[in-house]
A = this chain, B = another copy of it.
Amino acid sequence: MIDKHSPMPIYYQIEEAIKERIDKGEWREGDMIPSEREFSEMYHISRMTVRQAVTNLVSDGYLIRQIGRGTFVARRKIQQKLFGLTSFTEDMKGRGMKPGTRLLDFRTVSASGPIAEQLQIPDGGEMYEIKRVRSADDLPMALEITYLSEDLVRGLTEEDVYGSLYGYVEKELGMTIGYATQELESSVAREAESRTLGIAEGAPLLLIKRFSYLEDETPLEIVYSAYRGDRYKFVVGMHRNRTDSNG
């Protein structure tokens, strides 16, 4: 089960093995899994290596550690996904809906102002501007305008933006997305939005502004979205920081 000579790190192999047992239902929610020392003996590896695997799964929400008692399969594992940053495409698939895209506009424009600044594009640089209507199960769900530095994702084509931009950046360009900050506010649809989304004027809209960054903090994209208030709920899991109550 564990290959010590695989290029895959041992701790990663253990993570996958544990997740598989949980997914298969071999270990159920609330069950105690083998102790770190048992894993260590089972696979003939050091306990610190086991701990690295378990620590990762704890922070991913799969496991719960309890001092003096043991390590347990987390309840509510459905909620694991809530903690991770996802693209529209991944979000909709996670909700069991079919994502779709209608491209309204795809162009490069010269960068300037706060958008250029946020994307760290120097004066005179170009950026992609992509306007899309995102749909779920063939009904309009959101209106999206995305900005990316042309320099960072040079060679982006219209075909690339019909699916997940995150998927493209990660799989085609081999970049690693780190995190995003998102601002959400409530608004009402004006004429233009109501027409594009097929809702009444004055109907509720959820506005989301997203700044995405790569792992090394390079700004990747800015996205302005307007989601239909009658079809979309934003769902997020948040952990309590160890340091919040102090500082």
What is the interface of chain A, defined by CB distance below 8 A to chain B? 48, 59-60, 64, 66, 74-76, 79, 81-86, 90, 166-167, 170-171, 176-188, 202, 204-206, 215-217, 227, 229, 232-245
Contacts and interface: CB of A to CB of B under 8 A. Distances in A.
B79 A181 contact: yes
A234 B192 CA distance: 25
Contact of A240 (B179, B204, B206, B235): B179
B185 A234 contact: yes
Nearest to A79: B181
Q: How many copies of the polypeptide does the oligomer hold?
A: 2
Given A60-B241, A241-B85, A205 B186 contact: yes
A66 B176 CA distance: 12
8 contacts: A60-B242, A74-B217, A83-B241, A84-B238, A85-B240, A180-B240, A181-B235, A186-B187
Contacts of A229: 185-187
A107 B215 CA distance: 48
A166 B181 CA distance: 24
Given A188-B204, A236-B238, A86 B244 contact: yes
A182 B236 contact: yes
A97 to B, nearest CB: 16
Given A81-B244, A86-B244, 5 more contacts: A66-B216, A83-B179, A182-B235, A186-B204, A187-B204
Given A167-B245, A217-B76, A244-B90, A186 B186 contact: yes
A243 B18 CA distance: 14
Q: Which of A48, A177, A204, A242 has the most CB of B within 10 A?
A: A204
A227 to B, nearest CB: 8
Given A183-B233, A185-B229, A239-B178, A216 B64 contact: yes
B60 A59 contact: no
A48 B49 CA distance: 12
